[in-house]
Structure 1
Amino acid sequence: MSSRWLTPAQQEAWLAYLSASSLLERRIGRQLERDSGLSHLQYEILVRLAAAPDGELRMAELATTLLNSKSKLTYQVDQLEKAGLVTRRSCHSDLRAVYARLTDAGRERLEQAAPGHVDTVREFFIDAFTPEQLAAVTTGFTEANRRLRDAPG
């Protein structure tokens, strides 16, 4: 298979994405840690649980949704459980299944963290684009996500 090298414009776009995504991830991580003592992944776990019926998801489903390994998710849920933000329970009908559930304290922490998180996302991502550019970014990343999810391996 021969490689199709990137054009200068394509390389510029790729490098801009790499730099912006890294800087944004660090900015969000610092904001969440400062405002709520949460990592970005811990915040996302709480968000997913808050959106789930009864504030509860099966750990395997949570790992798939967050695109993370089960071991990394387990570690993060351990930390959230120690902080009283999440509890776990076994499933009576499937002994292999474990559910994570958002606690009232977890919901409060999420509500504390959300305004600063949204402000950061808005300032450094959403507001960086015109509505037309944002629509193009959404379309492009949606297609990239589809290709990545559908690709073998």
Structure 2
Amino acid sequence: MGAGAKTSTTSAVTADGLLWDGVVTLHGRVEHQLSKALQRRHGIGLSEYRALCRLSRADDGELRMQELADLIGLNQSSVSRLVARLESAGLTSRAMCPKDRRGVYTVITDEGRAVQEKAAPTYTETLTEALDAAAADPALASLLTTLRP
């Protein structure tokens, strides 16, 4: 091969690859719109909102830190920083597990519930708008038809 020759590193595009590309594109667009709306209207990030939602639905409004991390798709370090921000804002507090002193829970406060309840209509409205916009995009329409009932 000469000095100017190029080798092809393009792999074959599979149906699964195209499907996943669509999912990633859809996810990115929707996450961006949700994040922007929640920050603009309520001063909270998307991860904060999701944590408050999970906590508000949990028994006694509390979850172990690792359980919260798993539910919202964050690693332990990220969820620790997230919970610290929520605590600083007065939206959650920490509690020790009475049976296992190594276990740390995060507990939603009344203020946290109020913020989550106030932000919920924004989240729902923005999610619907983002999915409707994606459904109108020819590149994503078939994916949305499959995902939405």
Shorter chain as normaliser: what TM range? 0.7 to 0.9
Compared with structure 1, are the counterparts of its residues 67 and 18 closer, same or farther at alpha carbon in structure 2 (3 Å cutoff)?
A: closer
C-alpha deviations, 1:94-148, integer Å up to 9, x for none? 111001111000000001111011001111116855xx97673269xxxxxxxxx
Q: 2:29, 2:130 within 8 Å by CA — same for their partners in 1? A: no
TM-score scaled by length of structure 1: 0.76
Q: Mapping of 1:74-153 within 5 angstroms?
A: 74-125=80-131, 136-137=146-147
Number of residue equivalences:
135
Q: Mapping of 1:38-57 within 5 angstroms?
A: 38-57=44-63
Unaligned runs of 5+ in 1: 140-153
The residue that corresponds to 1:23 in the other structure is 29
Rg larger for:
2
Separation in 2, partners of 1:54, 1:15: 39
C-alpha root-mean-square deviation of aligned residues, in Å?
Answer: 2.8
Post-superposition offset of 1:92:
2.4
The residue that corresponds to 2:139 in the other structure is none
The residue that corresponds to 1:143 in the other structure is none
The percent identity for this pair of structures is 35
Unaligned runs of 5+ in 2: 1-10, 136-141
TM-score scaled by length of structure 2: 0.78
Structure with more contact order per residue of length (Cα contacts < 8 Å, sep ≥ 6): 2
C-alpha deviations, 1:3-48, integer Å up to 9, x for none? x8324x6665444333322121111100010111111111000000
